[in-house]
Structures are given as structure tokens and as C-alpha cells.
Amino acid sequence: MRWLGPLSYVSAISDVADGVSRNIENNTRERIVPDMVIDAAVSGASIYGAGKLGSALTFAIIGGKKGLIAGSVVPVVGNIIGMCVGFALSFVAYIATDIPISIFGDRSVRDFSKDVVNSAIQGIGNLWKVCRTSSW
């Protein structure tokens, strides 16, 4: 079961690479770095949160110290519960971050965040151009 941890990081890297690929295909190269940061942050936070919460819930479900003893005797049980809890939490995180929501103009929280960050960066860039070209 130890291969599931690295597999989640491969999935996160794949998510970031997919975003870069889409930006290149759409000729929106100026969005590559900000989108990469948001994709990595959302995926990383989902993995970290699901792992920590999954461990805590597994510890609570199996029963604390008794669970540690049971896990030593039957180690597979704790792994299976942890895997199921982690998968469920990752699925909830996916729904929370990647499903389009009407209040964000039928965009997901992740896409809305990317648009906000990119708009802010463009605004700062435009302000910089005005400041450089004006004769104060």
C-alpha cells in the first residue's frame, strides 16, 4: 500500500502538467505560472489534507491504542480503512474545488481563483506600464 502515496503526487504533477498543456494549446502563455501555482497548491492541499484527516479518522475509527495493537496484529485493516477514508476525502475535495458553481459564473473554485489571480497580475502589469511611460 506504500505505492499509493507516491501515486497521489504523480497525480498532482499530472494535474499541473495538464494545465500547462492547456495554456499552451490556448495560446495563453502568460497564465502558465500563476495557473501552475494554483493547481499545485490545490492538489497539494488536497493530498495533505486527505492524508492527515484520513490518518486521524482511521485512528478514531479503529480505536486509539487498541487500534495500534490491532494494526500490529492485522496491519491490512488499518491500511484499507485509511485508503478508503483518504479516497473519500479526496473525492470531497475534488467536488469542492473542481465542480462548476453558478455563483462563480459556472466556473469551479479552482478556475475562479486562477481568473482572479491572473486579473490581478494583469492589473499590476498595466499599472507598471502606465507608471513607466508617464512623465511624473
Cβ-in-10-Å burial (0-12, 13-18, 19+) of 85 comes to buried
pLDDT tens for each residue of 42-57: 988 888 887 787 777 7
pLDDT tens for each residue of 54-112: 777 767 766 666 555 555 555 676 677 777 877 888 888 889 889 999 888 899 999 99
pLDDT recorded at residue 49: 81
- DSSP one-letter string for 22-73: HHHHTT-GGGHHHHHHHHHHHHHHHHHHHHHHHHHHHHHHHTHHHHHHHHHH
pLDDT recorded at residue 108: 92
